[in-house]
A and B are shown apart, each in its own frame.
Chain A
Amino acid sequence: MFDIFSQRLQQKYRTLDFPNKQPNLSARYLGRPEILHDDCGDCHACMDACPTAAIRLLSASNPGPRQEQKGPALDMGRCLFCGACAKACEQKNGTSKIRFTQDYHVAAFAREDLIITAKAHTPAVPPRNIFGKSFKLREISAGGCNACEADTNVLGTLVYDLGKFGISFVASPRHADGIVLTGPVTRNMREAVIATWEAVPEPRLAIAVGSCAISGGLFATSDECLNGLDGLCDVQLYVPGCPPNPWSILDGLLRLKG
């Protein structure tokens, strides 16, 4: 018993006072991308380097979500945050027009807000908080590789201490205010996802975590997958990444909860 107490002292107090204090992320972490210029000419090195076709070049006939007509549009909903585009641009042009910042605030409340262009814009605000101080979620993994699942699960550990924010993951959809979905939604999970969603009492929210759940990600071209949660239900929160950093998920949940 004494050894347990002594070890308890050894292990210290480790919960971060989030969001008052900010997490210490790796200097090599790639967060929210920025597009610095849109004068790309005919260059499409970034597009060619992208493993998930997350980048397209805008034009008058292929405008961006805010009617931008030139430069690259990077869809964070498809992005793996691998940085290959920035590297390719730098190799071709000396400096890169795409820069990945250390900003982990990547969550968005509207799908088109995940599309980054050179033009700044004001993102959509979260839906009105209807759940007050208590927010219960049911997680569904539907083809997720266990990375998004792990970085969602980790929010329950004492570093993040999800429970202190009034948010918790529950075992039954009947006890939940919404679902968190990870994975591209495989054909073999489609029925289970719909059944779980329908078992959640209304009003209810749907949250897509990870590029697979948002767009199909790496599996968007697979005939065994359904390209994520959009199309199965109305999604209120998107947290992009492969997988998203746990702080990105927590930030999204807290902003959704209001």
Chain B
Amino acid sequence: MYETDIRALLCSKRTLLSLLLMLIAFSGYALCDWILVYDWDASFRPSALQQTIGGIFFGGVMLMLPLCAAMSPSLMQIEEKPSGLMDIRVIRIGILRYSGLKLLSAFVTGACVMSTAFAIHSVIWNVIATPCDPLANDYLAIPFDENCIYAAWQPICYSLPIYLWMCAAIALCGGIWAMVGTTCSLFVSDRLLAVAMPFCLYYLWHSGLPGAITGIWGLPHPADLFNDALTTDTAISSVIIYGVIAFVCCLLHYAVLRRLYAKK
């Protein structure tokens, strides 16, 4: 049943659409930048690494991530409710397993969409632009802070560790935001709202709502895990926060389903 659900989600047109949207979000900034520097001397053009991560740091990737990650799983969850498929599945496998199934398939879909989009985007730019080799050309080096974990990785194998880390981090964030979307879609019956809610939550966290309410300003940013100022401490705190969010999603998803079926 797990494989069926994951396959149905991964092969859906909506997943393809969100993958395409995410690819546009990744490449939009890089493309605009590349058109501007196209007639420059090749050695002064930005490196493949700069082009790959430019959209994340300066473009709309951070904001598009929750929307694209949650689109397909949220809509699938919301459509299962009125169709009666949810009732049949809950009767067959129980609330706990159904909840686990939905959240796992959402996580896998979100992670796959995000990591595939990033992987395609980075491969494309490594073909078009000069791969990053700061040892061969100083101009191509990105001036990361010395505490940033990327600083030491930049000269290794055309910055492959940075690409791998970012791909994994984006996959983790995408997966968790897909779980958030699936949980949100249990609370509403409106498809547009189900897609918009994870985006709103992400943006409020991104804009510092937890800090403004609690007065604690040290909380990690939702995109810290793949952002340019990433230190070991930030990475650990971000993973912990995302772990807490995933745990809360599991609890909420299960609790809402239990409450829903206790009434039936």
| Bound together | no
Q: Which A residues are closer than 8 A to B by beta carbons? A: none
Q: Which B residues are closer than 8 A to A by beta carbons? A: none
